[in-house]
Structure 1
Amino acid sequence: MNRSENLLSPGSSLASQVHAAAINGDKGALHRLIIGNSSLKDKEDQFGRTPLMYCVLADRLDCADALLKAGANVNKTDHSQRTALHLAAQKALRTISIVRI
């Protein structure tokens, strides 16, 4: 069983699997999923977040790179109108704030 399967229930959709692979940093599973169905590379979850956004939030840069090479849309926004770049900037600012304390 790979790492992304640990997060999923038996009835999980492919969208859930691609998001789990992104969060868990399972580049192999992520690659297999997007090769099998290229629309999954920009698939939104219930928050409008794409796998690329989850790679950014979980510091899975190798998976983010794989998604970008597969043509993931960097300008896609979530329901709060944030892109993956916005999320990366917010995360960096939080890290800087914590370090200053």
Structure 2
Amino acid sequence: MNKSENLLFAGSSLASQVHAAAVNGDKGALQRLIAGNSALKDKEDQFGRTPLMYCVLADRLDCADALLKAGADVNKTDHSQRTALHLAAQKALRTISTGRI
């Protein structure tokens, strides 16, 4: 288990393997998990964040693509009423405002 995986399972908000696979960019594991249980593609964590949202936050575009192809709900909102698109826009604005393009 790598350092980020330890953080995922040591009491953090990422409570499931599907979220861990999404944030760590493990496309194979993500696809296997979803193939075994299609409901996992939209599984929410304690903040209402879905695997797609974690892909966006962690720049895991290949995993986001896999989730979208599996039918992940792009309109799902977290507890703050943000979708994956909202998170992507916020992230882009922060990147532009800090000059890290």
Structure 1 length as normaliser, TM-score? 0.86
Q: What 5-or-longer segments of structure 1 have no aligned partner?
A: none
Q: Alpha-carbon deviation of 1:59?
A: 0.1
- Distance 1:59-1:11 versus aligned 2 partners, 3 A rule: closer
Percent identity at matched positions? 90
Q: Does structure 2 conserve the Cα–Cα contact (< 8 Å) formed by 1:34 and 1:40? A: yes
Cα shift readout 1:33-81 (whole Å, capped 9, x = no counterpart) = 0000000000000000000000000000000000000000000000000
Q: Which runs of 4 or more aligned residues in structure 1 lie more than 4 Å from their structure 2 counterparts after TM superposition?
A: 1-15
Flag the 1:13–1:68 CA change in 2: closer, same or farther, 3 A: same
Task: Tell me: CA distance 1:11–1:38, structure 2 relative to 1, closer, same or farther (3 Å).
Answer: farther
Q: Could you tell me whether the CA contact under 8 Å between 1:15 and 1:43 is conserved in 2? A: no
TM-score normalized with structure 2 length:
0.86
Instruction: Extract unaligned runs of 5+ from structure 2.
Output: none
In 1, Cα distance between the equivalents of 2:27 and 2:100?
33
1:4 CA displacement = 8.4
Asked if the contact 2:18/2:33 (under 8 Å) is kept, the reply is yes
